[in-house]
A and B are shown apart, each in its own frame.
Chain A
């Protein structure tokens, strides 16, 4: 692969986005469109005694009001809701929206109003009155710590390596608890869907989804439809962060409503509904127990995490994973438990699991470094490992030592006075902190169609998604590198379920997975063009072999003969040449552990009298293999750091446990960082290809941008103030002196 940094590509759809020309799902307008609004439960647990929809039904413009009393049956859902929920989460069938009178969480939909305008639907929804029989409920994880359940399946098993109690006899010991509140994804774009049926067996959907194929499968399952009769479009997504990785029950509800009334139905959820119905990062309580020699060699590490899920569905994530392999330690034990609570189910949120675990582990490592009177980087280097101690395999690539060095130099780490509360800028206390992040790097299966046309263009299609990282840009870059077409002649189309299948955009896999498919499809086209020339190119190519051909600027050259691919097609009377290729990882990958790493540095100012924390400078280093698209990769790191600053300093979804309701469910009260909170962020890439993962050598980076960052801020706050805040977010009230 070439040196992408020499000629970085601007975001290919940047102009569309900043001019408003990019079309998001809610912007589609279909003939006879109708608008849906959900009325939601005012209680947390119990059942609906009465639900009065008469006023709503009589309100102007109302076409239908659905409740559990008249909800059409969903063929793919079990008919008896009292039976155990099926395993597949696709389709949201474990909790059947409007399936019964039962209320399982506050804010649960109790009715769907469909009207001829959004305003009329909103008004009618406000007229629906329900009475309830309330039941007792639990929404507070801290009051239900004793109700932890083991998660089913291998992911949930307790992990032991060596002696779990080893930390207890170590020369230096640390035992601490770390708490992270519920955080809500809160992408700018609200969630929703447009569903439009043709007859009873064919549906077209415009959705906010991180995976058009996943949404397609959910609809196929729910309505028992053939794949060819379910079309899902989602070309642009205004942020997802994980919340659009599944099809939520209310999406199936909208599809059912559209089928019933025989017109397209559009649902755009309200901001407060974004807190209750589309997941969140679960509240977690973690214990870290560390033992170390006086020289800083870890001799024991225990990581125990407790997290919440819903009463109706398990949600588990890799909260304790990082502790198993990040550091060389002979004695490691992890435990992960979930507590079912009366609240909607969580879902993966950027850096899922690891972001939670890394806050605990990387804060504990900082605490241990101070106990040992050691530099936090030195402690990490002391426990550095070149092989994965969990699976006893080499890492496919790991340049974390370089990352420590590059980041430390950039921020001036070794020039700081490491003593807590030793540095000042006027009255402001100055602190430096660092931390690590890590996330699984993988390559999944994907398909790509590639077409060269006689007009000189190259078209690529794959049912992938772009929730913002710049997928299209990276794909164009890869195609340009392989096939040598000018970037402005290449277009990459995604977000369409009729395209060759690709997985959802999640878990930092798209560049690796879809990028490989693009790479393979373009390579395959290359072969096709070479074969065409060898077979039909005439005497110019006599005696040539495939190795003699080079591709650049839309031309193919062999020796002294160069021809544009467009004119070649014209000569051969071919309007286009096309291939569709499948791409997946080979068995070699099983021999390695593949991870992306990030090393974060933060410099903060803390005002001791007001408790205000300002992040003054950030350096973040990514070891994520070859960087395909430097500009969008840097943007992705900046976005992750911004999310990390939010996690560290302000994000918290607050439930009033007396009512079981979110009390700050809006953008005024749920704080995400604004521009004034974000300093200059230096992004550094190791930019060395991983030799195993895929033809480009690119590992994922969306998750690692955020994972661990909150710990860097917290560690910097400790360095500044001498105060260790183990409960996020680090708001002024926790620091006032």
Chain B
């Protein structure tokens, strides 16, 4: 780990100005950043600790709820506004990491965590995300955890978050400030696909800070499930995860929300499958059609071939669980 300076800020203005120098980064929960520094993947000269910024509340707004960027994952997962209105998010949060990590991890930090691709972490190996232009070691290598959607010849890494899969499904928006003005963007537009520049995980610019995430009220709370398939029962990244939520009225799906984790460089929202389900009955046949539709364009890279089968199975299973099947 390189020697570094540490600054603690208490205002947005100070935070933005402190992070302006090239080698300065924000420190929130640090659950990923510190690992990256220890492994030599990143070597910031200054850590700007934003834990004392006033974005640590969950509030009801006119149209939904607002989760501050500094709210800890464990607090968000237990908050009544979340558990009552958006149980999907609570489930997704609790699927992530371990209680100790969730106690430290924040909403904004979770969104900005880097991929867990082993080649990204090993500084002796080529990786376009860590060292642009050096090549992608994962392609042709150990790809069991890697993406099947939205890949490029430059990168096949996946975004590791569970929380983000839930937020993508729930039509959340992200509030970003540059200290002078705020902008709001759709959560599904926050993370990006690798394309020709996998070094960028998302659209956040230098000198910008996420301050909050808003989730609009919906009628999906009754029929929602977050299914995470992983190699052990807890504390493992998803092989595939599915956020599924249905608004079922009079036996018909009024609207559906579906997003996947562990399959792409960003939380992978399944818009076409959602549209297909709208107005249909929550039957196995319809769920199966949605799952198959969702797989359009999927492509495997060797050891992750099983995801082509696991992903639609997981979608089907998640839809059934959302529709009310007992998880047992």
Contact = CB atoms under 8 A, between A and B. Distances in A.
B306 interface: yes
A732 B232 contact: no
Nearest to B318: A610
B3 to A, nearest CB: 6
A668 B238 CA distance: 12
Contact of B140 (A122, A649, A658, A661): A658
Given A610-B229, A732-B310, A656 B137 contact: yes
A612 B229 contact: yes
A614 B233 CA distance: 8
Nearest to B126: A659
B159 to A, nearest CB: 15
A607 B240 CA distance: 15
A18 interface: no
A123 B142 contact: no
A664 B328 contact: no
A654 B145 CA distance: 13
B1 A122 contact: yes
B142 A656 contact: yes
B40 interface: yes
Given A609-B316, A663-B141, A663-B142, A677 B232 contact: yes
Given A119-B1, A663-B122, A736-B309, A668 B229 contact: no
Contacts of A671: 231-232, 236
Given A656-B141, A663-B118, A733-B306, A609 B313 contact: yes
Contacts of B140: 658
A610 B317 contact: yes
A427 B40 contact: no
Contacts of A656: 125, 137, 141-142
Task: Place the interface of chain A in its size category.
Answer: 35 or more
Nearest to A605: B328
A648 to B, nearest CB: 12
A156 interface: no
B86 interface: no
Contacts of A664: 118, 142
Chain B facing A: main interface SS: loop
Given A426-B326, A609-B316, A674-B234, A732 B239 contact: yes
Interface residues of B, number: 35
A293 interface: no
Contacts of A661: 122, 124-125
A122 B39 CA distance: 10
B6 interface: no
A500 interface: no
Contact of A732 (B141, B229, B316): B229
Given A126-B2, A654-B142, A663-B122, A732 B231 contact: yes
Interface in A674-727: 674-677
Contacts of B235: 674
B308 to A, nearest CB: 10
A659 B3 CA distance: 30
A654 B141 CA distance: 11
Contacts of B26: none
Contacts of B1: 119, 122-123, 126
A81 B118 CA distance: 35
B317 A609 contact: yes
B141 A658 contact: yes
Interface in A371-393: none
Contact of B310 (A426, A427, A659, A736): A736
13 contacts: A126-B1, A428-B328, A610-B227, A610-B310, A649-B232, A656-B125, A659-B125, A666-B121, A669-B116, A673-B232, A676-B234, A731-B231, A736-B309
The 3 A-B residue pairs whose C-beta atoms are closest, nearest first, are: A733-B306, A676-B233, A42-B124
Given A674-B235, A733-B306, 19 more contacts: A119-B3, A123-B1, A426-B326, A610-B227, A614-B233, A656-B141, A658-B140, A659-B137, A664-B118, A668-B116, A668-B236, A674-B232, A674-B233, A675-B234, A676-B234, A732-B310, A733-B310, A736-B306, A737-B313
Interface of B: 1-3, 40, 116, 118-119, 121-122, 124-125, 137, 140-142, 144, 227, 229, 231-237, 239, 306, 309-310, 313-314, 316-317, 326, 328
Interface of A: 42, 60, 119, 122-123, 126, 425-428, 607, 609-612, 614, 649-650, 654, 656, 658-659, 661, 663-664, 666, 668-669, 671, 673-677, 731-733, 736-737
